[in-house]
Structure 1
């Protein structure tokens, strides 16, 4: 009886430790997540596999309860409820696909990896072990994805110790040679510290201050300046004219987050503004589920939800460069970045508004995901966050 209780408890504890360490905001610790498939494979039943999956996911996403409470200005119970709801997809997929059949197990785990990478399960596919490919195989690109996939399948076979030793060797080599992604020439990413007021306080004086910040950032060699998610607020003709006028005597182009209101709700967008014109450059493919994307509103005949474009506009063009844009939540999941990489962009542009994550590791995790993907595909990276 003691062994029946102790073994699941130990496996769940190790899985939780794996999620906690791997997703602590350090890029070179991402490969720790590869312990999860090993623990999943040695579970002795589907119930134990579910416990292992829950331990990993809940530990990896531990910042969610506090972040949700801060965002909604509510108590912690709402955050805990959404935290558990978000884990359901991960736990269900990995428990259903678990098998005691050693021959079938690699293909079952491959199916779990794929399901958690694309919608609908991929909508909450955080802490995906595939992200570690950037820390293990920098600059390998799609070959790195293939090697990582083969490694994940190997870790759930009977020869997993040999596969693990090989991956640890690659990890040590990568750690010794690791460098952060480069910033593209003449691009500047501006971090702001306006807290929850960014995107909510959008009067003339705030717009004027932001324009001045951009002018200063572009006064040297900078020609494209990036501002965080929601920086501009609602994108209207009046706001567009104000910003165009603000750059009348410069050659600077600003890429900034904004909100484009529609009849059904709104789009979370990036706009591009220069002395000549302003336009919507990118519409977010996957807004934050629950707080922004609320599909049930349309089912009830209501409006107010952010639109999810899922697979639209994976790359956009600006100043002769192909850009892979990633807004906030898209940095935590797999398919937006991989879809963009299929089009071989010149640069990754990532923005976020993380004021509500204070005291959590969420923004740090977003940053390490971005660095891992940029290093994997050898792409320059521009980052702009508000905290």
Structure 2
């Protein structure tokens, strides 16, 4: 009787540990997440598989309750509710597709992995083990993703020890020779430490400070300067004129986050301002944060507001002579935006975020690690700009 309870308890404990360590914000620890498929496959009942899935996902996304509480300046209960609700899709998919039949298990797990990669379930498809492909197969691109897929299938079969040993060897080799993705020539990402005021302080003084920051970067030789998400606040004609008039004093192009507001809602965007004094909306976020930004249920009740999700729009954008794959904040945590962008053969990845609300959590570190892993997998230079 004791053994009947000890084994499930041990599997759940290990799944929590895997979620904590694998998603700690260090790119070379991402392969630890590959332990989840193994634990899922050796669960003896559907209930244990559900609890293992819940333990892994809740541990991996453990920063959400505290982050939501900080974002809304509220107590922790709304964050806990969102945390539990977000886990439902992950747990439901892996519970429904679990099977005792070892012959069907690889196909069932791969189906679960695919479902959690694309909408609608992929909208909350955080902590996807496939993200570790960049740490194990750097530079191999789609071949590396294929090897990872085959390895995930192998981990849920009886040959899992051989697969695990192979992955461990690749992991050690990669760690021994690891280098961070390079910065594209002439590009610079500017990290800011302006807290919650970034994007909310629309005063002239703040805009001039940002312009001075860009000028300093351009004077050091940067031709493309990237500022974090929502750095410019609301993109109004007045703000546009200010930045366009200032652009003639620099030799660089500014790429910065902003918010475009209209009667129906708003878009979280990247705008580009070049040295000729011309500006344009470069990119509209494909997947804003569900709940806090993207609120599709408003339209069901005839209400407006919330951020628009463009889902599969603008996977790559042209910046000068280069093609960039932009990822704004939440898009770095899920799978389909980066893979859709890579289908269009970009020259570099641009990852921006505004993570002031994540203080005390590992969320920003996880975003950076995920963006780094995908850039390494496809051998793309990476530009990162975050505000904390």
TM range (shorter): over 0.9
Q: Is the 8 A contact 1:285 1:330 kept in 2?
A: yes
Deviation at 1:250, TM superposition (A): 2.1
Deviation at 1:4, TM superposition (A): 2.3
User: What is the alpha-carbon distance in structure 2 between the residues aligned to residue 78 and residue 138 of structure 1?
Assistant: 39
Partner of 1:261: 261
**Equivalent residue runs for 1:32-181 within 5 Å:** 32-181=32-181
Residue correspondences, number = 387
Deviation at 1:228, TM superposition (A): 0.3
User: What is the alpha-carbon distance in structure 1 between the residues aligned to residue 95 and residue 49 of structure 2?
Assistant: 5
User: What is the alpha-carbon distance in structure 2 between the residues aligned to residue 95 and residue 340 of structure 1?
Assistant: 30
Partner of 1:360: 361
Secondary structure of 2:315's counterpart equals coil
1:346 aligns with 2:351: no
1:334-379 Cα shifts (integer Å, max 9, x gaps): 0000000001100101100000000000000001101101100000
1:205-257 Cα shifts (integer Å, max 9, x gaps): 11111111101111121011000000001111111110011121322110000
Secondary structure of 2:219's counterpart equals coil
Partner of 1:293: 294
User: What is the alpha-carbon distance in structure 1 between the residues aligned to residue 302 and residue 200 of structure 2?
Assistant: 26
Secondary structure of 2:310's counterpart equals coil
1:138-188 Cα shifts (integer Å, max 9, x gaps): 000000000000000000001111111111111111111110000001111
Q: Is the 8 A contact 1:65 1:82 kept in 2?
A: yes
User: What is the alpha-carbon distance in structure 2 between the residues aligned to residue 350 and residue 33 of structure 1?
Assistant: 23
1:258-302 Cα shifts (integer Å, max 9, x gaps): 001123100000000123211100000000000000001111111
User: What is the alpha-carbon distance in structure 2 between the residues aligned to residue 295 and residue 319 of structure 1?
Assistant: 35
User: What is the alpha-carbon distance in structure 1 between the residues aligned to residue 76 and residue 313 of structure 2?
Assistant: 35
Structure 1 vs Structure 2 CA RMSD: 0.7
Secondary structure of 1:339's counterpart equals helix
Moved over 3 A (4+): none
Secondary structure of 1:148's counterpart equals helix
1:300-354 Cα shifts (integer Å, max 9, x gaps): 1111110000000000001011010000000000000000000110010110000
Secondary structure of 1:306's counterpart equals coil
Q: TM-score with structure 2 length normalisation?
A: 0.99
User: What is the alpha-carbon distance in structure 1 between the residues aligned to residue 378 and residue 115 of structure 2?
Assistant: 22
Deviation at 1:75, TM superposition (A): 0.5
Partner of 1:22: 22
User: What is the alpha-carbon distance in structure 2 between the residues aligned to residue 100 and residue 365 of structure 1?
Assistant: 33
Partner of 2:280: 279
Q: Is the 8 A contact 1:245 1:275 kept in 2?
A: no
Partner of 2:234: 234
Secondary structure of 2:338's counterpart equals helix
Partner of 1:202: 202
Q: TM-score with structure 1 length normalisation?
A: 0.99
Deviation at 1:51, TM superposition (A): 0.3
Partner of 1:370: 371
Partner of 1:328: 329
